[in-house]
Structure 1
Amino acid sequence: MTKAELKEFLDEKVALYNNPKFIESDPIQIPHQFSLKEDIEISGFLTATIAWGNRKMIINNAKRMMDLMGNSPYDFVMNHKEYHLDNLEPFVHRTFNSTDFKTFILALQNLYQNHGGLETFFTNNQQELSLQPAISAFKKHFFEVAHLPRTTKHISDPMQGSAAKRINMYLRWMVRQDNNGVDFGLWKNISAAALSCPLDVHSGNVARKLGLLTRKQNDGKALLELDTALRKLDKTDPVKYDFALFGLGVFEGF
């Protein structure tokens, strides 16, 4: 396949999967339940945090998270009392348990009170054509609050070699201007050109079969290689191809 043929093929798959029907079976449906900007940000962040494993389980547990916060995540983060945190005790998603959940609530409260919130933090820490250093800085500041060492594993650090799939997916949701109504495009001062593809087993395997990726591990070096290849196909909106790679892998068994 020539580069032009590959681009045409992938653009067709983007058109197929980047549409509102995608929302029905994807964790992005959780933040789509909200209209307040901060509710979308926080529900999206918490949903992305637990987005590994069975997709149905991810969606069900993310809904449970929202229920436990009274379906008002921003109000809960900013105004909860200590006894409200006790209500989170039953929650668990794989290795993310109630202790982690409580810590994330306190960390988000600190972020909004002292760092201007999620959008402001990432906007102020972005670099041209890469949000990976901002993710690393985010992890450092997010865990300024008291926490157990085990909880830090739930946010990846690209500067330690991680592909940081879940938080890159979250940033796609928040930043990418999507005329088809899937991604939110809430954060106006970050360029979609700086976004990185959420690299997981599905997108990685498809990317290798298409010659977009040669590295075998799904790590930070692989992410850089894939990002470089996708930016050659569309330098302004490279992460749109996540829809194509994911769709080919999950829905078509490519």
Structure 2
Amino acid sequence: MKFKTSELKDFLNEKVNLYNNPKFIESDPIQIPHQFSKKEDIEIAAFLTATIAWGNRKSIIKNANRMVELLDYSPFEFIMQHQESDLEKLSPFVHRTFNGDDFMQFIKSLQHIYKNHNGLEPVFLKHAEKDSLQNSIHQFKTIFFEIPHLGRTQKHVSDPLKNSAAKRINMYLRWMVRNDNNGVDFGIWKSLSPSQLSCPLDVHSGNVARKLGLLKRKQNDGKALAELDKALRKLDVKDPVKYDFALFGLGVFEGF
């Protein structure tokens, strides 16, 4: 389909308005962090949820709920105060290739980040660039795994500098940074700006973006993400990833 830029913008803005509202939460994994009110609980529940956000959405939601249940519905307190013996109950957990060993490693790495790096937001802020957080994600991964860790767990944090689209972590950053008062994204990280965000690129958003002429590259990788970023920034330089709602909604709910 070929749209003129102004027509495409109107079409996508209409779809953003359709999907970017609290009704969207009912069927989306973002409902898990919405159970919490404390900043640290929200950002940890969101991070764990985003980490396992691949595959069937019902099973993502079910397993992310299980994660916060295993953390006694107090993720921050559990992370900061757990003893080694408290981690044993996490070992049966599994979501696709993310297992109990990975979960335990994530708890230890998150504790390291809160104790030694002042929390998640400062880590992403430290290496943020004017219009990109991709280097921040790369540096975050380095810090996340600078303590003793299982080699297998590294694959659960993507690295954009290795040409990954880092879909889940870009989605997580959207949740934390965007705040348009529509009740879906949290916008609790005030030190970062929506203009720095990248669209969570997956099968659905990628296919829709190609149909709309926003993306030519066939693979959903880091290079495709850079191409899509550029196209979306032409439509809205201040809040390019609001179009994630449009691309995702068109793909998942409308089979566009």
TM-score, normalized by length of structure 2?
A: 0.99
State the distance in 1 between where 2:201 and 2:133 align.
Answer: 14
- Aligned positions of 1:1-254 closer than 5 A: 1-254=3-256
The letter for the 2-side match of 1:230 is L
Deviation at residue 144 of structure 1 after TM alignment: 1.3
State the distance in 2 between where 1:92 and 1:249 align.
Answer: 28
State the distance in 2 between where 1:187 and 1:104 align.
Answer: 21
State the distance in 2 between where 1:8 and 1:27 align.
Answer: 28
The letter for the 1-side match of 2:12 is L
Aligned-CA RMSD value: 0.5
Deviation at residue 249 of structure 1 after TM alignment: 0.1
Q: Deviations over 1:19-52 (max 9, x none)?
A: 0000000000000000000000000000000000
State the distance in 2 between where 1:149 and 1:168 align.
Answer: 23
**Structure 2 segments unaligned to the other structure (5+ residues):** none
Runs of 4+ in 1 over 4 A off after TM superposition: none
Q: Deviations over 1:110-142 (max 9, x none)?
A: 000001100111112211100000000000110
**Structure 2 residue matching 1:183: 3-state secondary structure:** coil
State the distance in 2 between where 1:75 and 1:135 align.
Answer: 25
The letter for the 1-side match of 2:156 is H
Q: Number of aligned residue pairs: give it.
A: 254
State the distance in 2 between where 1:87 and 1:146 align.
Answer: 21
Deviation at residue 146 of structure 1 after TM alignment: 1.5
TM-score, normalized by length of structure 1?
A: 0.99
Deviation at residue 178 of structure 1 after TM alignment: 2.2
